Amino acid sequence: MDTLKIQLHNIKNIKEAYIELPFDNGIYTFVGTNGCGKSTLMLCIAQLLSNQLQRLSSSDSKSDSFVKFEINDKCCLWKRCNNFKWEQLNNTLKYNGLYEGSLFYGTRFEDSTNIEQMIESGLISEDKLADADEYVKNQMSFILHGDLNHYRTLKRLRNKYIAQKLNIKNRPYFINIENHFISQYRMSSGECLLVSLLHFLYNSIVRRSLPVNQKVLVLIDELELALHPIAVLRLMDFLKELAIKHSNLIIYLSSHSPEVIRTMPPSELYKVNNNDGILTIESNCYPSYLIRDLYSNVSPDFLLLVEDELSQLVVNKVLSKYSLRTSKLIHCIPVGGWQNVLELHKELYNKKVLGANTSIISILDGDIENELSKEQNKLPHIFLPIPSIEKFLYNVIKENKNPQLRRIINDKYFIVQSLDEIVSEYNKNTLEGAKDNNKNFYKKIRTTLEAIGTRENIFITGLCDDIIDNINISSFIKNLKNKLS
């Protein structure tokens, strides 16, 4: 997987940042509180598309400010000059793409000043316009209104020659309302954002006007400011489907919208933290951890915080199998990472978010039993009889520490290619320079499963049953019963 490394120094409220992000096909979402630096980060990343740093005012940077990118060992450095211009000092890293920024940095108002005057004076009339593509009209209607009828009169400036003659850099869209044309700049914020986004995606991705072997980068900052919640959900479905079909598409979003966060898997959610100007990125965050959403307006009797889906499945199976839910309302929520689990536990407890009648219990992976601080040990918690899923499979499959369970996993899930063959291929890659660790090994397992059509969630669900049936979990059951009594 390609990665994008970014270093920021003295840009707005970011004194220093050094972060690493996936730079491969997919949708990645930055989540954080207002003022944490999401929009500034997005603006800086947009420098890979065009000179967006020039949008910063003189007070947004200092004489030593710089932005540095590194992709596949190729570096590009942008530094502020004394005249407040930004100068590129070494290699060029430039990609095709689109940046839809926030209300302060977006492209909405470019070309807008004179458009309305041209309409009023007759310089822009119907004979200079052409019907918009059906794809744009249909998708815009469905995403915003759930039908295909709302934008049948959507048009666009006919060609580049007319735009040049009118001294307009872009070819904006127009809609006919009561025999009067309104430009996209006078449409709602949601309509303006969406028509620009759909136009770019249709022409560059769907019609493949850009080379399919070159990455296309799309940046959308705070999309929930322009769209209502249902439209946000429809747009996310549209973007996900597009990303699946087109392997060269990379999408970065920033948001603090529950509607956006709930639709994303933890592996594609990144929490932006800003501690006195030091910006950091926290990866693999679960939606519950990010939005503090407990999926119910009714406070449960017990809230169980676990690290990941495998832990959640194991706990829920144990609760059902041993009838531990009897006369109790129990919620079990994956949070992501044991530090995140305990941080959320502490916050919920201190702020009494769930009231005085809800008991909170952290259920942590067994491999961190000796990692807890004195303060963390005070929080009610128990440990699972297994480590994380990555470490568990690494120990069972690669290290062969449980031959019986290894044989069961091999016979149930790896009929086409045996575990011995998979481990052999993995070891060969390690000899050729790849790092040997549990995360890389799990990635090998996951890609092998995908190749034979087995979804990861199906595998994890089955693996949960195998764990309960083949590993001694009596001590865990006893501890859980005691906590729930």
Examine residue 207 and state whether it is found in any structural domain, yes or no: no
Parallel, antiparallel, or unpaired for β 180-183 and 173-177? antiparallel
Parallel, antiparallel, or unpaired for β 249-255 and 381-383? unpaired
Instruction: Output the tens digit of pLDDT for each of the chain's 485 residues.
Output: 789 999 999 999 999 999 999 999 999 999 988 889 999 999 999 999 988 998 888 889 898 999 999 998 899 999 998 777 888 887 788 999 999 875 444 444 555 667 878 888 888 888 889 999 999 999 999 999 999 999 999 999 988 898 888 888 778 899 988 888 888 888 888 888 899 899 999 988 888 878 888 999 999 998 887 788 888 999 999 999 999 999 999 999 998 888 888 888 888 999 999 999 999 998 888 777 777 543 445 567 889 999 888 788 889 989 988 889 887 888 898 888 899 899 889 888 887 777 777 889 999 988 888 899 888 999 999 999 888 888 899 999 999 999 999 999 999 999 889 999 999 999 988 887 778 888 899 989 999 998 888 888 888 888 888 988 898 889 999 999 999 98
| Last-in-domain residue among 134, 168, 196 | 196
Examine residue 369 and state whether it is found in any structural domain, yes or no: yes
What is this structure's pTM?
0.71
Examine residue 469 and state whether it is found in any structural domain, yes or no: no
Here the CATH number for the domain that contains residue 349 is 3.40.50
Exposure of 265 in the CB half-sphere (CA atoms within 13 A): 9
Six-digit token string for 352: 């009494």
Examine residue 297 and state whether it is found in any structural domain, yes or no: no
CA dihedral 319, 322, 327, 332 (to 10 degrees): 0
Closest CA to 407 of 418, 395, 391: 418
Do 43 and 20 belong together in one domain?
Answer: yes
Do 57 and 115 belong together in one domain?
Answer: no
Here the CATH number for the domain that contains residue 22 is 3.40.50.300
Six-digit token string for 198: 């759909």
Examine residue 208 and state whether it is found in any structural domain, yes or no: no
Closest CA to 153 of 140, 162, 143: 140
| Alpha helices in 88-228, H assignment, sequence order | 112-121, 134-145, 160-165, 189-201
Rounded distance between C-alpha atoms, residue 400 and residue 395, angstroms? 6
Examine residue 203 and state whether it is found in any structural domain, yes or no: no
Do 36 and 172 belong together in one domain?
Answer: no
3-state DSSP assignment of residue 23:
coil
Long-range contacts of 17-22, Cβ-Cβ distance < 8 Å, separation of 24 or more: 17/41, 17/278, 17/279, 17/280, 19/279, 19/280, 19/281, 20/281, 21/252, 21/270, 21/281
Rounded distance between C-alpha atoms, residue 363 and residue 379, angstroms? 11
Q: Which domain holds residue 134?
A: 107-196
| Last-in-domain residue among 163, 196, 229 | 196
Do 253 and 325 belong together in one domain?
Answer: no
CB atoms within 10 A of CB 432: 7
| Last-in-domain residue among 244, 259, 286 | 286
Do 252 and 310 belong together in one domain?
Answer: no
Which whole-number Å values give the CA distances from 406 to 93, 189, 394, 411, in the listed order?
A: 46, 55, 11, 9
Which secondary structure element, helix H or strand E, spans residue 154, and what is its range? strand 154-157
pLDDT at 278: 96
Buried b (16+ CB within 10 A) or exposed e, 329-355: ebbbbbbbbbebbbebbbebeeeeebe
Do 329 and 379 belong together in one domain?
Answer: yes
Sheet of 74-80, strand order: 86-88, 74-80, 61-71, 3-11, 14-22, 278-282, 269-275, 26-31, 249-255, 216-221, 96-100
Quote the DSSP letter at residue 6.
Answer: E
**Residue 353 one-letter amino acid:** V
Rounded distance between C-alpha atoms, residue 216 and residue 237, angstroms? 19
Do 159 and 243 belong together in one domain?
Answer: no
Do 239 and 126 belong together in one domain?
Answer: no
Q: What is the largest CA-CA distance in the chain?
A: 82
Do 49 and 127 belong together in one domain?
Answer: no
Closest CA to 69 of 5, 2, 163: 5
Triad 309, 314, 318: Cα angle to 5°:
145
Closest CA to 21 of 78, 90, 77, 69: 69
The domain total for the chain is 4
Are the C-beta atoms of 17 and 280 separated by less than 8 Å?
yes
Do 91 and 43 belong together in one domain?
Answer: yes
Examine residue 461 and state whether it is found in any structural domain, yes or no: no
